Structure 1
Amino acid sequence: MMKRGICLCIILLSFKNLTAQSAKIDTEKLLEYYETQRYADAATYLQSIYPGDTQDIKALSQIAYCNMMAGKLPDAEKSYLKINTIQPNNLPTLFSLASINSRRGNVSNAKTFLQQIIQLDSLNFSAYKQLAAYAETSESRLNYLKKANTLNATDPDVAYDLSITYSGLKQYQPAYDVLKTAIAADTENFTLQQALLPVANQLTKYPEVIETGEKLLKNHADVNVMNDVGQAYFYVKDYQKCIMLYKMLEDMGVQNEGTLYFMALSYRELKDYNNAALYAQKTIDEAISDHTNLYYAALAGIYEAQNQYNEAVTAYKRGLTFGTSNIIYYRLGLLYDLNLKQPKNAVTYYQLYLKNNPDQNKEKEQIAYAKGRIPVLK
């Protein structure tokens, strides 16, 4: 409340320094508008006092600010552009224009204004931080974040984003160093500590992952933290704790191929071979997509288009190892029937297609064709 009051006082004091028109301003009314956040009313009131062609920068700034706060972005931009023409290269104005264009989704214009800012002020942390969000490549994003981090190494948002970018490029040591610096400045920042865990795992700092992760888990049982800590326990050969954490994830229904794999290995190390085999099979099942057979069908279709029929047969049959598929049965029937001239095999796959309950409405033509071809081929 104190900060808000100070801001309102500054705004109102600025009106006292305006031109002769300031005598017409009802500061009490403006104060009420600001306190109740009726910014649209404040903008309308100010516009009723100043002429539309005013060149008064302070007046234009207040009108622009009120319109921006009211969400009337086109009106705000119009005023800020006018200010920029009267008084070019003003950093607050450029930042406001960048913000307005960002909110309207005009990334190109937002970037242009931010780049103007760093041309005027090559050490402007905020501009680099915002430009990183608009970077089109990992390299340019990295460069902007590195510059921002150099200017303010303790900013948590930049440290987090920079560490994620470093990790994406598999540069784990710089990612770790950036996070450690920011965490040292804010030891209770759980977001940064959580971001540190997968990086520390990559650097084999397993005791640190366990110590930090266990503290985080006391605050909140986050599944990502459990995943990272479970890995660390595996690598320090505390297989029971690894299994305990990953069993919790499984009970929550958020297991994945990796957690199941570590469970299989942990059970194996504990010589619990029954559970090791069980989780090895679960790992395989988790790794296989429900659509894998369709992917093989697509590959086989490509081979068919190139008249590589034997390769197509191999791909189709590989797809069937991941589950039954009407599409593959039917396509194999056609392939053996029309291209490879193997009627016995064609009949086999047409029959498998029909036995697999194809959709009577959607596959009416295919069903009719398969039924018609079987007696002919026999």
Structure 2
Amino acid sequence: MNIKRSIDRIPGGLMLVPLLLGACVHTFAPHAGKTLGSFTNALITGTLPILAVWFFCMGASISLKATPVVLRKSGVLVLTKVATAALGGVIASHFLPPGGITSGFLTGLSALTVICVMNETNGGLYMALMQQYGTKEEAGAFCLMSLESGPFMTMVTLGIAGLASFPYATLFGALLPFLIGFALGNLDRELRQFFSQAVPVMVPFFAFALGNNLDFAVILNTGLLGVLIGVCVILVTGTTLVLADIFLAKGNGTAGIGASSTAGAAVAVPQIIAGIEPRYAAVAPAATALVATSVVITALLTPILTSLWSRRWGTLSPKHRAAAALSGGGAALDTGLDGPLEARSNAH
């Protein structure tokens, strides 16, 4: 049985399938964890411990050795994404209740939701797209984008937007596992390789635990709104990221489109933030469902838009040039794309 291969065909499948399974357990057997107890209850309710291990391993996977070009590209994209999310959160806070909307079609919509869906980029999707449509330097920007994974950057963004205040000890505590992993991973390459292997492995486990906080009624009620939010994420962050990529990072905009997605890890953030900032507790379950829907929508649309942008204004990969040449489109590509744009890419 090709279970893993089938799950991989679903955008964000390793995150979303366990999440939905967890939601099934919570919807149809809400007391299963307490009834079974022991390790089963720990697996069902252990979101924070599992996330702590995942955050540690994520830190260990990031190498300090990166070229200035890579740091410039990733720094521009990360700062633009965070600034856009902060601005979106500030605007949302002027029109939405402090704790978000808890009933009706807009259930789950809050400044926290807006920041969560905009703040974190699907790094794996971005790297895969840049390997196919971008340059090696653009693919390498994944190194700093990994910093967006987890609750810390969302805490920072909420603080920048003035929408929440977190004690310094809490902020440090949220970042400490990541910092310890980062230090160990850069002190010993073998440790980095060892802990890096656990990053994708932990995803289904914390996704399943997260799903056990969701009810299918909430997911169904927020589904259409989540689709609209996902489209807005691409339109808003895609626009700012493309402009930043062209004018600040000296790119052609392809990396900006590739980064206009919502990371699967963002699904965990509303519940974590709600545990620290009580004002968001009531809206956290519905916000989680909205973020999960946005993950799917952006995972579906971002690759399509990145491909279209690359073919029109970007630089195609050698594989795509060869395919285009075999299909008879080589001359058009040579005159229409590969000239000045390839020179700009090589100038990165």
TM-score (norm 1): 0.21
Q: Give the number of the structure with larger relative contact order, counting CA–CA contacts within 8 Å between residues 6 or more apart.
A: 2
